[in-house]
Amino acid sequence: MANATVESPEIMDQDNNFESRVSVASQRQLIWWRFTKHKLAVISAILLIILYLTTTFAEFFATAHPLESEAFRGLMPPQPIHFFDEGKLSPHVCAMIGTRDTYTYKKTYEPNCDEKTPVKFFVKGFEYKWLNLIPMDRHLIGVPEGYLAEEHIFILGTDILGRDMWSRIWVASRLSLSIGLVGVILTLFFGITLGGISGFYGGFIDTIIQRIIEIVRAVPTIPLWMALAAAMPFSWSIVQIYFSITLIISLFAWTDLARVVRGRFLSLREEDFVTAAVLSGADEKRIIFRHVMPSLYSHIIAAVSLAIPLMIISETALSFLGLGLQAPAISWGTLLQGTQNVQSVALYKWLMIPAFPVVGSILLFNFLGDGLRDAADPYSD
Amino acid sequence: MKETKNIVTDHPILSVKDLRVHFFMDEGTVKAVEGASFDVYPGRTLGIVGESGCGKSVATRSILLLVDSPGKIVEGNITYRGGQTNGQETDLTSLKISGSEIRSIRGGEISLIFQEPMTSFSPVHSVGNQMIESIRLHKKLSRSDSKDLAIDWFQRVGMPNPEQRMTQYPWQLSGGQRQRAMIAMALCCDPKIVIADEPTTALDVTTQAQILDLLKELQEQNGMSIIFITHDLGVIADIADDVAVMYLGDVVESAPVDEIFHSPKHPYTNALLSSIPSVFNRNRERLPTISGAIPHPHNRPSGCTFHTRCPSFIDGVCNVSLPTKSELGDNHSVTCFLYEDKK
Amino acid sequence: MLFYIGKRVVYGLIAIWLISILSFIIIQLPPGDYVSSYIANLAAQGSSLDQAEAENLRIFYGLDKPWHVQYGKWALRILTGDLGYSFEWEKPVMDVLGSRLLMTILLALFALLFTWVFAIPIGIYSAVNKYSIGDYIATFFGFLGLAIPDFLIALLAMWFGYSIFGWSVGGLFSPEFGTAPWSFAKFVDLMKHLWVPVLILGTAGMAAMIRVVRANLLDELSKPYVVTARAKGISEWRLIVKYPVRMALNPVISMSAYLLPYLISGSVIVSVVLSLPTLGPTLLKSLLSQDTFLAGGIIFLIGTTTILGTLISDLLLLWVDPRIRFEGR
């Protein structure tokens, strides 16, 4: 009769501890805990923060001035950096000699390692203003005194006008990534206001707004964006175009957020704690801001992090088609204009490289958004 | 109280011996059923009674190998003596979980009535469709014969307008009608055992009485056995012939229904009975409750699981080792140190 | 139920009306009016128009009237099938668009079909075998498809196709079939070329749908009616398909309604990249060259097609879910 099933006391302790911690944790803490369980989302968040920080330093990472063009060095393939020179550590690039085939007029480049250009780090290069305030001229990678970066080093090759791809990709990140943030502010505004009104008041207003949302969702966005973007006069400045594009994209991107907000308002209306607030005499605004909104924040943040990549994709697509930002503005989309047909893609593969940061940042935002969305509902599961 | 049936002399049609069902979760293992044993006799109703979480649902679902993952039957025998030719024994625990043998038993020989008929029916198929599906599966009748049989059963369970009801969806029926439909669906293939998992808990008292009468009537007509799960001792008194009392995954006492009510032996059974509010209680008398609370499923008490709440707790005995089952004669058995044969 | 259908049809009509207004605004947006664009075009080609002729044209097109009258005229003409005149092509808009509209619709429908055919079984498999390797792989690829925009997938597909297989991935017909009349051989040729854009368009939609199917099926699989079916002795796959899958299909159909505009939208860009004879490249060109009636006409057609598509899928939902039928929402 010796079958004593004794459960170890640690489990009992762990249980009690866990339960007691959970019962006193605030909503924010719950959400934070759930979020950190998603390793992928956390990593994405960190990477994104790093990415956005580097956009402020874009020129530092660039080697050549992004607008410097010289047709004769157009469509040059990437120059690999060699780190060793006959056994010694001496980073350098080999010069590229271009020859044009007289029959096909196609230009090919061959590396000529007799002409070496040393590669130095933290060198002086073209001038720029950090944060548009502080004049600087240091760059991460560059060439020594006496050489001109614009003529000697092309880490990722050049585009059809001979402009350095590496530098342009770095500088493009600024516009491409920021448009996401700016556009999302408008989306937030439309989404929260309309969704909130719809969910909070219900009834006729709700029906009308619901119909509007349905119609907006049923409209194919890209043709409409194309048309609206094309309607912008070409005489507008870059800034005006930038903001109009964000406006155009936001006009159609707010529906998802509105539906989420409306859904939350509708279900929260039925919740007992709202009834309690009403019964205790709170007025409408107070109810909305102090009682309903806090449960909304997490959902809003999740929806926002999923809306940003949408903006990035949309701007990239529009600029790719030539309808978005115009030269001399640089975004990843404008950089991809050179790849509009099979021939370019086949012959000048490096022109597609800007696609990778686009895909990368979109993936990061999606991972982040997914993690946030799962964490947003601390009472599910 | 039910008309007392004769004390049993037949062999049980279903024997559950030492059943252990464990759920392997991330946070730890939950021992939902731990050493439960009970017998079901032909033509009689076994009432399984216990508080929520005592494992009664899991134990009965294991009979049909319907344990949801991450649960598994880790030990025990479930012997079914129905079969095609009466007397043929099958150990249900040895069958493959989704194999054809257990599937022909499910619904065909042993069927299940669920607690909440609204969610237990598919909302997008008519009740007739769901019934005919069962009939065609087990009885292999033609479509029109199945339909006739279904309508016939709807009539037998007291469904008004059976032909019309057949084409309706579950959410178009009232609560009582839904439960009748559920009963019809469980019985339409003439099973030998019907497991009713709290079928009246979700109903109002009047409907509850009607359903109980219906079940008794059908049992008399068909001669099937019923396993009736409930936490309500009043229902047990009404419908059960034999009773098994469960606590935290184990059967602590089992006996014919009269014995249980008139001479309960286990301290838990005693406590349950005295906590039933009665018209005969003196005014302003406090309703006796069982002290303490059910232990967390991860924290099974050592030794006898009831010792933390037992008024007859013996320190050094009850919290150290497990009591074994003692037979007290007349099919009355109890698992408690108070009744153990002194060695 | 009739009430429900009626409501949906009315909403659809209102939406089409709004699209027409939007298209008209797009026509009017560029500075100057139709006639001045026409004159500019003529000038670019070296010819010109004198004042009197220009005035006559203006009166003919009603450009001297207030804009709501102009809209009325344009809208009425649409009802007779006349979408205006394209000066780029020097043909009526409908002639330019005819077969291209058909191609666009075909492409979108096939992409939708592709999505259904692959996403639903994969989603079911994923849900039933949760956390298995197959599930992780499906989720991962689904994620990629969702995150990478259509036109980039198109670019990458072109790149792979060309550099690894030496395909010339573009267009919808081999040169010999391009302008040939329809025949079975031409149809086969179309199928051979169509699968690439269909695959590209379908991947993003497929990714989203797999997630929806998986999530909804997981929800349904844990519901009591599934246990009931199992307790009746039905075999596992049969009961999964008959009961929870049927329930999980509802959101799939509602989702398809909004997948259609997405697909048509995406087909525009993908067609540009792959040079397909659909509405996409035509739209782009017409916008860049300010061929306003053509652009507006295309927008209107695309918008109307999608709205009709969503209407059809709403009606499909009605057929699939009896609860809506009876509750007469």
pLDDT tens, residue by residue, C188-245: 777 777 777 888 888 878 888 888 888 888 888 888 899 999 999 888 888 888 888 8
- In single-letter form, the type of residue at position A363 comes to L
Judged against a pLDDT cut of 50, whether residue A7 lies above it is answered with: no
* Centroid of chain to Cα B96: 23
Chain A residues touching chain B at CB-CB below 8 Å:
1-7, 11-12, 15
Residues A360, A377: Cα–Cα separation, whole Å: 27
Tell me what pLDDT residue B46 has: 93
Q: Residue count of chain B, please give it.
A: 343
Average pLDDT over residues A222-247: 78
A227 at C interface, C-beta within 8 A: yes
Confidence band for A291, pLDDT divided at 50, 70 and 90: low
Q: CB pairs below 8 Å between B and C: how many?
A: 70
Tell me what pLDDT residue B310 has: 85
Calculate the average pLDDT of chain B: 84
**pLDDT tens column, A318-356:** 888 888 787 788 888 888 887 877 677 777 778 888 888
Judged against a pLDDT cut of 60, whether residue A23 lies above it is answered with: no
- Cis bond upstream, residue B277 (ω within 30): no
Tell me what pLDDT residue C303 has: 82
Q: Say which residue the tokens 């439909």 belong to.
A: B181
Residue A76 near residue A158, CB atoms below 8 Å: yes
Residues A37, B204: Cα–Cα separation, whole Å: 45
| Side-by-side strand order, sheet with A88-100 | A82-85, A88-100, A107-118
Query: Nearest Cβ partner of C26 from A227, A317, A336?
Result: A227
> Under an 8 A CB cutoff, do A1 and B296 touch?
no
Residues A269, A292: Cα–Cα separation, whole Å: 8
Of residues B82 and C250, the one with the higher pLDDT is: C250
* Lowest model confidence (mean pLDDT) among A102-106, A252-256, B220-224: A102-106
Best probe of the C interface among A232, A306, A342, by most C CBs < 10 A, is A342
Query: Nearest Cβ partner of C228 from B68, B100, B120?
Result: B120
> Under an 8 A CB cutoff, do B104 and C233 touch?
yes
| Nearest CA-CA partner of A38 in A380, A374, A377, A381 | A374
C238 at B interface, C-beta within 8 A: no
- State the DSSP string of B183-228: HHHHHTT--SEEEEESTTTTS-HHHHHHHHHHHHHHHHHH--EEEE
What's the pTM? 0.75
Number of neighbouring beta carbons within 10 Å of residue B112 = 28
> Under an 8 A CB cutoff, do A231 and C307 touch?
no
Nearest Cα of chain B lies from the Cα of C19 at a distance, in angstroms, of 36
C-beta pairs of C33-37 under 8 Å, 24+ apart in sequence: C33/C58, C33/C63, C34/C61, C34/C63, C34/C292, C34/C293, C35/C61, C35/C63, C37/C87, C37/C290, C37/C291, C37/C292
C40 at A interface, C-beta within 8 A: no
**pLDDT tens column, C70-114:** 778 778 877 777 777 776 777 787 777 877 888 888 888 888 888
CA count, 13 A, side-chain hemisphere, A370? 20
Query: Nearest Cβ partner of B320 from A4, A7, A11?
Result: A4
Residues C153, C201: Cα–Cα separation, whole Å: 9
Alpha helix ranges (H) inside chain A: 9-24, 27-37, 39-56, 58-61, 149-152, 165-201, 203-218, 221-230, 238-270, 272-279, 284-286, 293-321, 332-335, 342-347, 355-375
Tell me what pLDDT residue A149 has: 67
| Nearest CA-CA partner of B129 in B173, B170, B159 | B170
Residues C299, A322: Cα–Cα separation, whole Å: 18
Tell me what pLDDT residue A379 has: 47
Q: Tell me whether strands C85-86 and B333-335 are parallel, antiparallel or unpaired.
A: unpaired
Interface of C with A in 101-160 (CB under 8 A): 143-144, 146-149, 151-152, 155-156, 158-159
- Cis bond upstream, residue B123 (ω within 30): no
Q: Say which residue the tokens 């990140």 belong to.
A: A173
Query: Nearest Cβ partner of A218 from C261, C287, C296?
Result: C261
| Nearest CA-CA partner of A159 in A71, A286, A224 | A71
> Under an 8 A CB cutoff, do C247 and B124 touch?
yes
Tell me what pLDDT residue A221 has: 80
* Centroid of chain to Cα C69: 31
Residue A26 DSSP class:
-
Tell me what pLDDT residue A2 has: 34
Is the C-alpha dihedral spanning B295, B296, B297, B301 positive or negative? negative
Phi, psi angles (nearest 5°) of residue C328: 50, 50
Residue C44, burial from CB neighbour count under 10 angstroms (0-12, 13-18, 19+): exposed
Using CA atoms, how far residue B149 sits from B132, B162, B167, B177, B318, in Å, is: 8, 11, 14, 18, 55
Residues A203, B334: Cα–Cα separation, whole Å: 62
Question: The complex's ipTM?
Answer: 0.83
> Under an 8 A CB cutoff, do C149 and A358 touch?
yes
Nearest CA in chain B to C321: B124
Nearest Cα of chain B lies from the Cα of C164 at a distance, in angstroms, of 47
Tell me what pLDDT residue A12 has: 38
Most confident range (mean pLDDT) of A145-159, B8-22, C231-245 is C231-245
> Under an 8 A CB cutoff, do C18 and A215 touch?
yes
Subunits in contact with chain B (3 or more CB pairs closer than 8 Å): A, C
Judged against a pLDDT cut of 90, whether residue B248 lies above it is answered with: no
**pLDDT tens column, B179-199:** 999 999 999 888 989 999 998
C-beta pairs of A185-188 under 8 Å, 24+ apart in sequence: A186/A246, A186/A247, A186/A250, A186/A254, A187/A250, A187/A253, A187/A254, A187/A257, A187/A304, A187/A307, A187/A311, A188/A257, A188/A300, A188/A304
Average pLDDT over residues C29-57: 71
- State the DSSP string of B145-172: HHHHHHHHHHHHTT-SSHHHHHTS-GGG
* Centroid of chain to Cα A305: 9
Confidence band for C37, pLDDT divided at 50, 70 and 90: low
Q: Per-residue b/e over C104-127, b at no fewer than 16 CB within 10 Å?
A: bbbbbebbbebbbebbbebbbbbb
Phi, psi angles (nearest 5°) of residue A123: -105, 170
Chain B positions touching A1 (Cβ under 8 A) are 321-322, 324
Tell me what pLDDT residue C165 has: 65
- In single-letter form, the type of residue at position C256 comes to S
Average pLDDT over residues C294-323: 80
Judged against a pLDDT cut of 90, whether residue A32 lies above it is answered with: no
Using CA atoms, how far residue B1 sits from B209, B235, B238, B243, B313, in Å, is: 13, 10, 5, 13, 33
C87 at B interface, C-beta within 8 A: no
Tell me what pLDDT residue A178 has: 85
| Nearest CA-CA partner of B195 in C227, C223, C237, C244 | C227
**pLDDT tens column, A165-183:** 888 888 888 888 888 888 8
Confidence band for B83, pLDDT divided at 50, 70 and 90: low
Nearest CA in chain C to A315: C149
Nearest Cα of chain A lies from the Cα of B265 at a distance, in angstroms, of 22
Tell me what pLDDT residue A20 has: 43
Query: Nearest Cβ partner of B300 from A3, A5, A15?
Result: A5
Of residues C208 and A14, the one with the higher pLDDT is: C208
